[in-house]
Chains A and B, each alone.
Chain A
Amino acid sequence: MSLTDLTLQGARDQLASGAVSSRELTEACLARIEAVDPQLNAFLSVTAERALTQADAADARRASGDGAPLLGVPLAIKDVLCLTGTRTTAGSRILENFVAPYTATAVQRLLDAGAVILGKLNCDEFAMGSSTENSAYGPTRNPWDRERVPGGSSGGSAAAVAARLAFGALGTDTGGSVRQPASFCGVVGLKTSYGRVSRYGLIAYGSSLDSIGPLARTVADAALLFGQIAGPDPRDATSMPTPVPAPDTWHDDLRGLRVGVPREYFIDGMQPAVERAVHAAIDHLRALGATPIEISLPHTEYALPVYYLIAPAEASANLARFDGVRYGPRAESEALWDVFEKTRGERFGAEVKRRIMLGTYALSAGYYDAYYGQAQKVRTLIKRDFEQAFEQVDVIACPVAPTTAFKIGTKVDDPLAMYLEDVFTLPPSLAGITGLSVPCGRDDAGLPIGLQLLGPAFGEAQVLRVGHAYEQTTEWHRAAPAL
């Protein structure tokens, strides 16, 4: 077994026992990135020198008796998160030269816990997409089949973890962008509750929806990262003071646990292998002692139209700051208004422009009440669906996505077909609740399938506990793609 095959916890244990140094682990990851990533394009930048300096510092800290929770563990972060002195592009040409002057709180907390940061990971431009094909720097490829997408928008994060390029990664989830790529790449992904993790230093997409969460190879690894990044931050007034549960209270016995199975999440047109795998996973939870209960989330079908009004509306406002004045590059023109229009027209990609147009229209005079206002009201109904469901059940089990990974190029020119990929991840995002994607099977082509476990807002401990119990008694998460 090579060093990069270790889980995050395994790497941590070996560091703690002195069996391996952070320099050795970091060099092993950097060597694997160099060997494998040209086939995947998961990294937009590799900060090798900086990582080795951090690794040596971690080894020195350990020699002096320091036992910080992630001391010396190599990780990587999605390129929408700022890290001082590193190029931070958000997958966009409008930020191609942007060097972050400050560090995101979630990243700083990893650094404070002793982590080594290997580099910045590819994603759909400004996190808008479900396939990572919208990156201005080329698509990331799925490690299980390089003709296929890794999902998105955190496709680089999921591919890097699946391909053993890093022991864990941070992604962001606005409408499914952690859970769906985790599902497509056969890794674990946690969408944290809105307000659980500080968004300071995250390049904003949909500010009422954006959340930062970990991707890792096991639930325990994801829980470890979650425990480090969660908690209030004076720099983000929406980060809540709700206590962060200790990540190590595991029980594999699920007796007494009520698992909701929403009938609206098993629909015509979904891939039969996905439906079979998710039902088998629910049967497995039953075998562990849980009680599945059929429930209804009646406003599910409206989540997609609600999301594709609210997120673009917020994006159109958030992306107004990219105008060629404070960040380069700038399109040259004699008049300031032309500078704005040309810089934005030339430097934003097709999907970003599409969403800015949609959001601008939804917020424009005469349409605001009919579109944005109505969407916000239906969002209330979607949130209430979940609140009522969690009066009857402890967690909800359902698919992450209706299909497994699709071929590169097949949906990129059909926005609606692409948006339908998010049909099971959007409702929890709109409700601001937490969701975990755990590997639960493979389709006929050998592509991974994810089980989505949803919990109430700030119920991360609950979904992690159920995910861990499932994972401990199944083998799906152990498989590695051949690269």
Chain B
Amino acid sequence: MFRMSLTSDEIDHIAALARLSLTDDEKSRYRQQLSAVLDYIAKLGEVDTTPIPPTATVLPLRTVLRPDRVRPSLSVPELLANAPESEADMFRVPPVLDGGADG
């Protein structure tokens, strides 16, 4: 049920999923440290949880309603103020797709 140690391919895969560029040194350090943490975490496998429901929140489930009314909110300039780059009321980013001739 529980894996004890991570391979370097797995570290690459996790880093890609998390969108983190890591140096080779970081990769080898995290491989070792996360394997140790996972090894410790493996003790959860001892617990029989067959009839036990999961806890996603400790609070009682309830429906929270509010009137559907327009309320004041932040302005566009306030929202863009922290952006590294913006243009015409939008966040500006490098191209999302590899640019062919037609863009």
Contact = CB atoms under 8 A, between A and B. Distances in A.
Contact of B95 (A336, A374, A415): A336
A358 B57 contact: no
B15 interface: yes
Q: Which of B30, B41, B56, B98 has the most CB of A within 10 A?
A: B41
B14 A360 contact: yes
A370 interface: yes
B54 A336 contact: no
B58 A432 contact: yes
How many chain B residues sit at the interface, stated as a range, is 35 or more
Contacts, number: 165
Contacts of A217: none
A320 B43 CA distance: 29
B84 A333 contact: no
B66 A379 contact: no
A380 interface: yes
A308 B43 CA distance: 12
A327 interface: yes
A336 B96 contact: yes
Interface residues of A, number: 72
Contacts of A200: none
Contacts of A371: 2, 41
Interface in A301-354: 301-302, 304-306, 308-309, 316, 320, 323-330, 333-342, 344-346, 348, 350, 353-354
A344 B57 contact: no
Chain A interface helix/strand/loop/mixed: helix
Interface in B12-48: 13-15, 17-22, 26, 30, 33-34, 36-38, 40-45, 47
Contacts of B64: 237
A238 B95 contact: no
A361 B34 contact: yes
B54 to A, nearest CB: 3
A401 B37 CA distance: 20
A378 B53 contact: no
A344 B20 contact: yes
A102 to B, nearest CB: 7
Interface string A149-161: 0000000000000
A378 B84 contact: no
A327 B19 contact: no
B81 A415 contact: no
B4 interface: no
A179 B21 CA distance: 34
B52 A340 contact: no
Interface stretch (A93-101, A109-117, A281-289, A444-452): A93-101
B40 A305 contact: yes
A308 B41 contact: yes
B79 A101 contact: yes
Given A358-B34, A380-B55, A101 B82 contact: yes
A383 B40 CA distance: 21
B52 A380 contact: yes
Given A302-B43, A336-B93, A356 B18 contact: yes
A82 B39 CA distance: 37
B87 interface: no
A176 interface: no
Given A99-B82, A237-B64, A305 B20 contact: no
A364 B59 contact: no
B41 A309 contact: yes
Contacts of B41: 305, 308-309, 371
A377 interface: yes
8 contacts: A305-B43, A335-B95, A339-B93, A360-B18, A380-B54, A416-B37, A419-B37, A432-B58
